[in-house]
Structure 1
Amino acid sequence: MTVNKLSFFASGNGDSVLLKAGGTTIMTDIHYCQGHADPDDDSKPDFTPQIRDACTDDCLDLFVLTHPDKDHVRGAGDVFYLGPPEDWVSDPDEGDPLILIKEIWCSPYAANGAYDEDESKLILGEIRRRKELQSTPAADKDGNRLVVRSVDDAVVSGRFGNAEWRVLAPTQAEAHIPEPKKGELRESCNPTSLGIRWTVTVNGGKNHILLLGDATVAVLERIHDKILLKDPAALDWHVLLAVHHCSRRSLGWVVNPGKDEEFIESKKALKVLGRQLGSGYVVSSSRRFGRDVTPPSSHARNRYYKILAETDDLTKVMQADRDRFLVTGSNGDGKPEHVIFDLTASGPSRRKQAKPLAAPAVASSVGGGGSYG
């Protein structure tokens, strides 16, 4: 039976998105957590069985790294095999094999000089290993393929297996973050996020999925000026991943940070995110709301409510609109829950959990990554 499914795994403030388009399996980012560094953080269920079930012969067709902050790369080496494919053990004596990644996509930042942290060392090392093989016969072998993408490329759209893609970010300039001078703080790599709109067609009906990683408000405003005004349909979506774990800083500007924290929404950014088709869904890959730290931001959630309801008046947002804003960190009972959609001829259909998730197998601290709020 052909499977077309989209899964947002509950992994705290971190992205772990699995797209199954017929025989094609694509994973965007991973936040696979271990340890208990933050006892106040939400526990997270183990989702590796779902990834393995979606793969054929323990091989993932494509892994997309938006950017190498730890909440987008953590645990990659615990789930995926990272190394020369000829050394991969496909049938170990005990347990399941690590999953082989046939192809990796990343931004120029991840390929050309992203900084290493403990969580990112393995995946960035794998990207560099594959980059060194380019222009050699081995580069096209499963387990060695690497494609570095930006919106400035000659080709910014195409088909990968049974899914269509369109790159929206970053530009080459956005992907270039110089090393800090001595004594200076390192800049956030959020602006380097590889943003892609995926489309899966089922019996003639399209399912559009918009994934922008942790793109900043400046990046969204650039998308408005350079893409939305010329080709607005490129931003259409049925399912939108709330940018930066539902951070308000992707929707506007903080004035006088550290003082009165005045916030000004960006009309351009909101227009970029407002291309909902039909009764769409917004997914917040975050811990549950109601904590004293952000993200997720209640301000941003209210703005996404308005987008779903197609109104600027929060009082006109109906419960049915609010119900299409889904949070991986809370299923309504305060428990984490994977958000899963079946992709159909009439668009995405949310798959309700038959029962609450089992007791978590893994738990961890919240991943960091750039400015929150």
Structure 2
Amino acid sequence: MVKKSSIYHLPVGNGDMTLLKIASNNRYFYVLVDMYIRQSCTEEDDQCNVLDELHNLLEKDCDGRPYLDALVLTHPDKDHIGGFEKYFYQGSPSDYAPAKNGEKDRIFVREIWSSPLVFRRKSKKHSLCEDAKVFNTEAKRRVELYRESKAIGAEGDRIRLIGEDIDGKTSDILGIVYKPGEVISKINEATLKELSIDIYGPLSDDEFEDNEALEKNRSSVILRWGIASHGYSDPTNFVLLAGDASVEAWEIIWEKFKGSPQKLSYDLLLAPHHCSWHTLSHDSYSESDNPKVSETAKKALSQARTGAVIISSSDPIKDDKNDPPNFGAKKEYESIVSSAKGTFLCLADNIANGETAPSVLEYRLTNAGPQKASKTSSTDSTSSAKKRTAATSTLIGHSGQAIGHG
């Protein structure tokens, strides 16, 4: 059977958890971008049990360990790293032991991707949650192994840093650093011809006009995933994942790419910061009588391909002043996808008939673009791929060092 790539958006309330299952080299590569595994999700009927869902989607290695080829952390807020300490293995691979008392085995992470720069910014004004502290300790362990040996270690000891740290703190380990502007085609030391990842963030300190933008801790890792069908090399699926990247970040990004906006194009966009108004505006939605949208930031987020889908990984979006998720931001995203014959979806609304909890939203990544696979009561019954095909047919037919882990 021909292997097909897929992307799974796991509903976690106001948080992010996205699994990429990439078909290449006659196998699947599993990449998790952020996580928010709440204890309540295993106990409450109105929440998706994302821990069970994740285990059901993953494979086990020859040692019986459920594994990820890579775990990508966009930034260390709890709603992007919650559950790491309890559900993911930390430490030397040789010390891994199966779970006891009928509990699930911890997920084995072959390679970590993270940004020491974003961790450092977090520490300036905000303390790290316990999961982030544990993650940072594990990241430092892996960095030190590379620093000592100057060689990529075994699976379970590997790490890639997204962006250089300040003051040359990563200058001696550049062999594991990916820099903004580069293109990644490798996962866990395997080259995938079907993969090309553009790095757009984190932005460096000198790209921001003032420190306030940095203190907001919204300069997340920003990656655009280009994925081709298995065996091909030209991407036909573009997925933009940007953590909590703020309005300031998107304004800078647009200035960089306004001459080549196709570099920001996407089929699937996870609305940054859980559909927050502050991704699109400098004004407070609740305190301003007439909050203004930053047209520059909106242009950066408006490069939707035909049939594109913008997804809000959030609680239900209501017509009120809440933020995030924010009703005003939802309306702006709806205007973006409307012009592209696309769709806006909220994961909290992805509820199948007869169910009480949201379901995992799956898109298969095909030669014709993403095709929606989940069966829900949502009005989005037409895949972006079908819309793009229909549109094409129409055209043809009618014409400090304390916290950074580097």
TM-score category (smaller protein): 0.7 to 0.9
* Aligned residue number for residue 203 of structure 2: 171
Gaps of 5+ in 2: 165-177, 379-406
Name whichever structure is richer in helix by fraction.
2
- Return the TM-score normalized by structure 1: 0.80
In structure 2, the CA distance between the partners of 1:251 and 1:35, relative to structure 1 (3 Å rule), is: same
Residue 10 (structure 1) shift: 0.6
Q: Distance in 2 between matches of 1:355 and 1:79?
A: 31
* Aligned residue number for residue 182 of structure 2: 156
Residue 258 (structure 1) shift: 7.3
- What is the aligned counterpart of 1:77 among 85, 102, 105? 85
Q: Which amino acid aligns with 1:8?
A: H
Secondary structure of the structure 2 residue equivalent to 1:197: strand
* Aligned residue number for residue 330 of structure 1: 349
CA RMSD of aligned residues (A): 3.2
* Aligned residue number for residue 68 of structure 1: 76
Residue 96 (structure 1) shift: 3.5
Residue 76 (structure 1) shift: 1.3
* Aligned residue number for residue 334 of structure 2: 305
Runs of 4+ in 1 over 3 A off after TM superposition: 90-96, 110-115, 257-262, 332-335
In structure 2, the CA distance between the partners of 1:90 and 1:156, relative to structure 1 (3 Å rule), is: farther
Deviation per residue, 1:77-127 (Å, 9 max, x gap)? 232112222211257684442111111111223555743223422212212
Determine whether 1:122 maps to 2:127: no
Q: Which amino acid aligns with 2:12?
A: S
Q: Which amino acid aligns with 1:328?
A: L
Determine whether 1:30 maps to 2:30: no
Give identity over the alignment, percent.
27
Determine whether 1:343 maps to 2:365: yes
Q: How many residues align?
A: 334
Deviation per residue, 1:259-301 (Å, 9 max, x gap)? 5354111111111111111101111000011275321111111
Q: Which amino acid aligns with 1:157?
A: V
Q: Higher relative contact order by CA 8 Å / sep ≥ 6: 1 or 2?
A: 1
Q: Distance in 1 between matches of 2:295 and 2:186?
A: 33
Q: Which amino acid aligns with 2:47?
A: K
Residue 140 (structure 1) shift: 2.0
* Contact 1:69–1:189 under 8 Å retained in 2: no
* Contact 1:341–1:351 under 8 Å retained in 2: yes
Secondary structure of the structure 2 residue equivalent to 1:253: coil
* Aligned residue number for residue 316 of structure 1: none
* Contact 2:241–2:269 under 8 Å retained in 1: yes
Determine whether 1:145 maps to 2:158: yes
* Aligned residue number for residue 227 of structure 2: 200
* Contact 1:82–1:126 under 8 Å retained in 2: yes
Secondary structure of the structure 2 residue equivalent to 1:252: coil
Map 1:343-362; keep pairs closer than 5 Å: 343-353=365-375
* Contact 1:13–1:285 under 8 Å retained in 2: yes
In structure 2, the CA distance between the partners of 1:342 and 1:154, relative to structure 1 (3 Å rule), is: closer
In structure 2, the CA distance between the partners of 1:113 and 1:132, relative to structure 1 (3 Å rule), is: farther
Q: Distance in 1 between matches of 2:265 and 2:295?
A: 17
In structure 2, the CA distance between the partners of 1:42 and 1:233, relative to structure 1 (3 Å rule), is: farther
* Aligned residue number for residue 19 of structure 1: 20
Residue 54 (structure 1) shift: 2.6
Q: Distance in 1 between matches of 2:45 and 2:206?
A: 33
